[in-house]
Structure 1
Amino acid sequence: MTSPLVDSWRLKIQHKSGFDYAGPVLSSYNEARMWPRNETHQAVLDARVEVWPPARTYRYEDYWGTVVTAFDVHAQHEALTVTATSTVETLPPGDLIETGEGASWDDLARPESVDRWYELLVGSPRTRMNAELTAIAADIRAAHATPHAAALAVCEFVRGEVTYQPGSTGVQSDARHAWELRKGVCQDISHLTVGLLRAMGLPARYVSGYLHPSPTAAIGDSVVGQSHAWVEWWVGRWTANDPTNGIPVGERHVVVGRGREYGDVPPLKGVYAGPGATGQDVEVTITRLR
């Protein structure tokens, strides 16, 4: 991925996030997950995370393999701002699995497979199912000969049933709430999809990152982008899909982290000593460089 590729994109991403407080905060301890990953379909050419008020940062990979930028602020402050800037080269989806391919239902049910992926087969707080959703998962599974075909059907089902509506839910929302409302944001749609996949017996994980909003983006134009979420499931290997948009994950997507749900990969979280926070500001700007 170091040489130019006809179908590759090069994206510059600036993600600014932070908190405003009701008064002076004496100290805060924070973690940012805004650093894209180096992996098969994307290469990080440049990345940095800057903090205001200034603080010494250090990086490590967490349990799920996400790069974490950790920092403490001990100077009195009434606001905290974190700005992550990265340049990433991405590839289109080029290795999609056909619906009849991949691991079988018997393969996924083998004890060694269940043991290997156990943490990604059980429910988490935001992905737990109710009786209605569990029954829906069983019906979809019964209607498809292969797990991969059933997974694609789940993505199509969720997209058809749950309307994407910004502002309709918050970060504490879960799959069952989104199902009851029949609307939500990409995090809700991904939580619901992951929950249904796991209910069928497919190892599934939640992916956090960025999405360039335009498939016909002009080179050099900066646009308001967004933090985004999608899903991956394991059928002999991991495969990804964006159920919010009904597309495979490709050159417009940038992976930051993976986990069981949003709680494993929040862009910014922390604890502090002082008055309550009055709000969190988030701004994402994405520029296609190539």
Structure 2
Amino acid sequence: MTVGSWRLKIRHQTGFSYAGAVASSYNEARMSPRNEARQAVLEARVEVWPSARTYRYEDYWGTVVTAFDVHSAHDTLRVTAISTVETLGPGDQLTATDGVGWADLRGPECADRWYELLLPTPRTALDEELTGLAESVRAARPTPHAAALALCEQVRDEVAYASGTTGVQTDAVHAWRQRKGVCQDISHLVVGLLRTIGIPARYVSGYLHPAPDATIGDSVVGQSHAWVEWWVGRWTAFDPTNGIPVGERHVVVGRGREYGDVPPLKGVYAGPANTGQGVEVTITRLR
């Protein structure tokens, strides 16, 4: 066993309630962790009610999607994802002076390779104030990596984490102006700031165990979480909401340009109005 590794079991249940019987629905769930360098998936299954045949595929961004259609009448849709994942600590971290330089990021090779991760999106677009902030940080830092760390610190200093203050449609500018938001907002802000100064950046969706000193065997209320990655010769993962490198408490589910690329559950249906969505995440440290 690698020193600093954890084993986490995650149970994520979500779904929709409707005002009456829905005739049919067509859905996609992005709730299954990925196998990659710092995490190994030991178990991953998705259960659907009403019962439906599911099939899995990887989308454009490499996220595992569980797709399913429900053609029996239903007034509730419930999706439960259960996974067990072995995670590693942050590993080798870049210092503030490491990574490629500003000239390297301005080159055509970088722009062509990461074009989609340099463009603003509806949730990450900035106003004049935020663009000016990003440029001032860039001018004062010798390397892109140093600027990225400084922007994370600035956003964390200025924007308070406040559960329930925003929704999934909130954009970076709104969160900045009210100076509070949730992890999605903070991540959208950082991604937008990085892109506007030419640093390729992506939004990461996953889970976070809330306790650094978690007791083995105890189940706790966890949370869906979001953080960022930026490219400075290699991808670097950082959690700006908590001001820490991504480590053993983090489990990656998917990546994209913003939240719209990685929602845990989305779909279309024929029938009466959606009356609400419930979410419950339980995380247990197994070792």
Q: TM-score range by the shorter chain?
A: over 0.9
- Return the match for 2:94 from 90, 93, 97: 97
Structure 2 residue aligned with 1:180: 177
Partners of 2:261 and 2:143 in 1: CA distance: 29
Partners of 2:205 and 2:190 in 1: CA distance: 14
Partners of 1:7 and 1:181 in 2: CA distance: 38
Structure 2 residue aligned with 1:137: 134
Question: How many residues are matched?
Answer: 287
Are 2:208 and 1:250 aligned? Answer: no
Partners of 1:113 and 1:47 in 2: CA distance: 35
Q: Where does 1:9-28 land on structure 2 (aligned, <5 Å)?
A: 9-28=6-25
What is the TM-score of this pair, normalised by structure 2?
Answer: 1.00
Are 2:172 and 1:171 aligned? Answer: no
The secondary structure found in structure 2 opposite 1:47 is: strand
The residue type paired with residue 206 of structure 2 is G
- Return the match for 1:223 from 197, 220, 225: 220
* TM-fit CA distance, 1:202: 0.1
* TM-fit CA distance, 1:5: 2.2
- Return the match for 1:151 from 130, 137, 148: 148
List alignment gaps of at least 5 residues for structure 1: none
Partners of 2:3 and 2:167 in 1: CA distance: 39
* TM-fit CA distance, 1:268: 0.3
Are 2:29 and 1:55 aligned? Answer: no
Partners of 2:3 and 2:100 in 1: CA distance: 32
- Return the match for 1:161 from 155, 158, 161: 158
Partners of 1:6 and 1:231 in 2: CA distance: 25
Partners of 1:174 and 1:44 in 2: CA distance: 32
Report the aligned-residue RMSD.
0.4
Structure 1 residue aligned with 2:208: 211
Measured against aligned partners, the alpha-carbon deviations of 1:127-177 in whole angstroms (never above 9, x if no partner) come to: 000000000000000000000000000100000000000000001101000
Structure 2 residue aligned with 1:77: 74
Structure 1 residue aligned with 2:41: 44
Partners of 1:96 and 1:6 in 2: CA distance: 16
Partners of 2:272 and 2:50 in 1: CA distance: 17
Structure 1 residue aligned with 2:29: 32
* TM-fit CA distance, 1:274: 0.2
Are 2:281 and 1:262 aligned? Answer: no
List alignment gaps of at least 5 residues for structure 2: none
Structure 1 residue aligned with 2:4: 7
The residue type paired with residue 141 of structure 2 is H
Partners of 2:75 and 2:47 in 1: CA distance: 17
The residue type paired with residue 14 of structure 1 is R
The secondary structure found in structure 1 opposite 2:194 is: helix
What is the TM-score of this pair, normalised by structure 1?
Answer: 0.99
Partners of 1:90 and 1:109 in 2: CA distance: 34
Structure 1 residue aligned with 2:189: 192
- Return the match for 1:127 from 124, 128, 146: 124
* TM-fit CA distance, 1:7: 1.4
Partners of 1:16 and 1:186 in 2: CA distance: 19
Partners of 1:67 and 1:164 in 2: CA distance: 29
Measured against aligned partners, the alpha-carbon deviations of 1:164-196 in whole angstroms (never above 9, x if no partner) come to: 000000011010000111000000000000000
The residue type paired with residue 226 of structure 2 is A
Partners of 2:66 and 2:100 in 1: CA distance: 36
Give 4+ residue runs of structure 1 displaced > 6 Å after superposition: none
* TM-fit CA distance, 1:6: 2.9
Partners of 2:248 and 2:10 in 1: CA distance: 14
The residue type paired with residue 50 of structure 2 is P
The residue type paired with residue 34 of structure 1 is M
